[in-house]
């Protein structure tokens, strides 16, 4: 048995953080993906290779079996984590509660999904290798793309969902019901990595395209205009878990001050959705873009108010505004990535000089296409050679 899957990263147009507190978010998939290869083996071991974060682990099945008595086997309960299993896994991996180490979070989420899927039967011996085109911990949903790939591949290996790829296909997707299963298992992985995720990132990783997300409800936006977006990675490291917790503390400390800010972010997402929809039903005008730009500016100020800005993100906004372009952070903020809206008439020379100015600040910067497919199963032929080469190294 061998499964090769991929899931996209995402950019949040509006609603990051507010979405954790029950407000609307608009998010879109990116053309940058995470790839995962799962191979059934006879080694009596479970191995995971995560070259992006320089993490390579192997456990004997006999070691992993020790965890089973602590797994209650409540397979239907996927909205919450099995606290007993998390505790046991933390002890097993040797991580304290507050530990935010990149490798440990990735390992914990893998082991959690593995044990909760296979724990009530025979544990299979397998090797999982993951490679991502996404920067990790930069706001583009690498944690969700990773969790979605884990969920899809492990659900397939457990037989809970079929492998959709037919002999003659290069790529295939699952039916709606299976995608829902993948999404809910991926949400568990996100719970381990984010602490208190909204679920928007794993929803985009699962379904792809552009979607509106509100309190767990996912509405795909099928009629959206083609948007040109510049992505900038300030390369300032940050952790979504820390930032989400920081925002929660601020809301608890100043509830009457923060509530209107979150309501305003909600209104921004709704206004943006309305404008995007108008842009598909009437001729696109400069005024549409003016509104989109103003919404970006207002939201960026709000994100600073809720405490998730960073001087590097201020630099991004300043450098792009000098070229008449508008930017905001995307994802958890505190560093990481920002998006810049390009107008259809923005000349390629302006884009090029902006990209150069941002690179001169030490940032990575590239124009990206949005709206790619959600989680997919692949034949090896449909995966870039360099990605396959990395996955097959282990």
Q: Which residues are catalytic?
A: 143, 201
Write out the binding residues for Mg ion, residues 139-158 only, by CB under 5 A: 143
The radius of gyration of the chain's CA atoms, rounded to the nearest angstrom, is 21
- Nearest approach, Cβ of residue 98 and ligand ADP (Å): 15
Q: Which is nearer to ligand PMV, 127 or 233 (CB)?
A: 233
- Nearest approach, Cβ of residue 168 and ligand ADP (Å): 30
Q: Which is nearer to ligand ADP, 132 or 354 (CB)?
A: 132
Summarize as ranges the residues that interact with ligand ADP (CB under 6 A). Answer: 34, 50, 52-53, 102, 105-106, 130, 132, 136-143, 146, 193-194, 239-240, 331
376/164 Cα distance (integer angstroms): 9
Which one of the spans 114-122, 180-188, 196-204, 257-265 is the region binding ligand PMV (CB under 6 A)?
196-204
Contacts of 378 (CB under 8 A, 6+ apart): 4, 5, 6, 35, 165, 170, 171
197 binds, among ligand ADP, ligand PMV, Mg ion, none (CB under 5 to 8 A by kind): ligand PMV
How many residues make contact with ligand PMV (CB under 6 A)?
A: 17
- Nearest approach, Cβ of residue 155 and ligand PMV (Å): 22
268 binds, among ligand ADP, Mg ion, ligand PMV, none (CB under 5 to 8 A by kind): none
Q: Which is nearer to ligand PMV, 4 or 332 (CB)?
A: 332
Q: Which is nearer to ligand ADP, 154 or 292 (CB)?
A: 154
189/142 Cα distance (integer angstroms): 12
Residue number, nearest CB to ligand PMV: 331
Contacts of 349 (CB under 8 A, 6+ apart): none
The two tokens of residue 197 are 């995720």
The two tokens of residue 204 are 């985009």
261 binds, among ligand PMV, Mg ion, ligand ADP, none (CB under 5 to 8 A by kind): none
- Nearest approach, Cβ of residue 294 and ligand PMV (Å): 22
- Which residue has tokens 């884990």? 150
7/64 Cα distance (integer angstroms): 27
258/202 Cα distance (integer angstroms): 26
34 binds, among ligand PMV, ligand ADP, Mg ion, none (CB under 5 to 8 A by kind): ligand ADP
Opening angle at CA 298, ends 295 and 299, nearest 5? 85
Identify each DSSP E strand in 153-310 by its residue range: 171-172, 210-214, 217-220, 228-233
Binding ligand PMV (rule: CB under 6 A), the pick from 135, 139, 205, 335 is 139
3-state secondary structure of 77: coil
Write out the binding residues for ligand PMV, residues 224-253 only, by CB under 6 A: 240, 244
Binding Mg ion (rule: CB under 5 A), the pick from 147, 240, 376, 377 is 240
What's the gap between Cα 351 and its chain centre? 26
153 binds, among ligand ADP, Mg ion, ligand PMV, none (CB under 5 to 8 A by kind): none
Q: Which is nearer to ligand ADP, 142 or 354 (CB)?
A: 142
Contact call for residues 341 and 325 (beta carbons, < 8 A) = yes
Which one of the spans 61-69, 112-120, 194-202, 361-369 is the region binding ligand PMV (CB under 6 A)?
194-202
Q: How many CA atoms lie within 13 A of 159 on its CB side?
A: 5
Q: Which is nearer to ligand ADP, 128 or 351 (CB)?
A: 128
Neighbours of 209 (CB within 10 A): 18
3-state secondary structure of 102: helix
- Nearest approach, Cβ of residue 139 and Mg ion (Å): 8
263/33 Cα distance (integer angstroms): 32
- Nearest approach, Cβ of residue 144 and ligand ADP (Å): 6
390 binds, among Mg ion, ligand ADP, ligand PMV, none (CB under 5 to 8 A by kind): none
- Residue 332 lies near ligand PMV (rule: CB under 6 A): yes
The alpha carbon dihedral of 17, 112, 186, 82 has a sign of negative
Quick one: which of 205, 202, 200, 243 has its CA closest to 336?
243
The alpha carbon dihedral of 367, 372, 375, 380 has a sign of negative
Residues that bind Mg ion (CB under 5 A): 143, 240
Residues that bind ligand PMV (CB under 6 A): 16-17, 19-20, 139-141, 143, 194, 197-198, 200-201, 240, 244, 331-332
């Amino acid at each position: 048995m061998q499964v090769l899957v991929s899931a996209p990263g995402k950019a949040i147009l509006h609603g990051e953080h507010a979405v954790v507190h029950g407000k609307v978010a608009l998010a879109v998939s990116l053309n940058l993906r995470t790839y995962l290869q799962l191979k059934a083996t006879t080694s009596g071991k479970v191995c995971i290779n995560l070259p992006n974060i320089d993490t390579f682990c192997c456990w004997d099945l006999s070691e992993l079996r020790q965890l089973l008595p602590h797994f209650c086997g409540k397979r239907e309960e996927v909205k919450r984590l099995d606290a007993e299993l998390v505790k046991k896994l933390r002890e097993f991996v040797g991580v304290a509660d507050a530990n935010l180490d990149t490798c440990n979070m990735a390992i914990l989420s893998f082991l959690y999904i593995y044990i909760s899927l296979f724990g009530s039967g025979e544990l299979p011996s397998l090797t999982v290798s993951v490679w991502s085109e996404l920067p990790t911990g930069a706001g583009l949903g690498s944690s969700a793309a990773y969790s979605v790939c884990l969920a899809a591949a492990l659900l397939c290996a457990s037989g809970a969902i079929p492998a959709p790829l037919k002999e003659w296909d290069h790529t295939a997707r699952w039916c709606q019901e299976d995608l829902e299963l993948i999404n809910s298992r991926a949400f568990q992985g996100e719970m381990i990595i984010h602490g208190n995720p909204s679920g928007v990132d794993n929803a985009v990783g699962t379904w792809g395209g552009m979607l509106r997300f509100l309190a767990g409800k996912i509405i795909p936006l099928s009629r959206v205009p083609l948007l040109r977006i510049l992505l900038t990675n300030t390369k300032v490291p940050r952790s979504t878990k820390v930032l989400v917790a920081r925002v929660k503390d601020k809301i608890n400390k100043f509830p009457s001050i923060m509530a209107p800010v979150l309501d305003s972010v909600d209104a921004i997402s709704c206004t943006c959705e309305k404008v995007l929809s108008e842009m598909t039903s009437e001729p696109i005008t400069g005024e549409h873009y003016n509104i989109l730009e103003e919404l970006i500016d207002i939201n960026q100020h709000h994100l600073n108010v809720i405490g998730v800005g960073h001087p590097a993100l201020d630099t991004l906004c300043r450098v792009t505004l000098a070229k008449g372009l508008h930017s905001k952070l995307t994802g958890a903020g505190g560093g990481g990535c920002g998006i810049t809206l390009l107008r259809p008439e923005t000349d390629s020379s302006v884009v090029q000089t902006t990209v150069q100015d941002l690179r001169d600040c030490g940032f990575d910067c590239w124009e990206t296409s949005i709206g790619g497919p959600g989680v997919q199963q692949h034949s090896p032929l449909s995966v870039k050679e360099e990605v396959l080469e990395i996955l097959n190294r282990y």
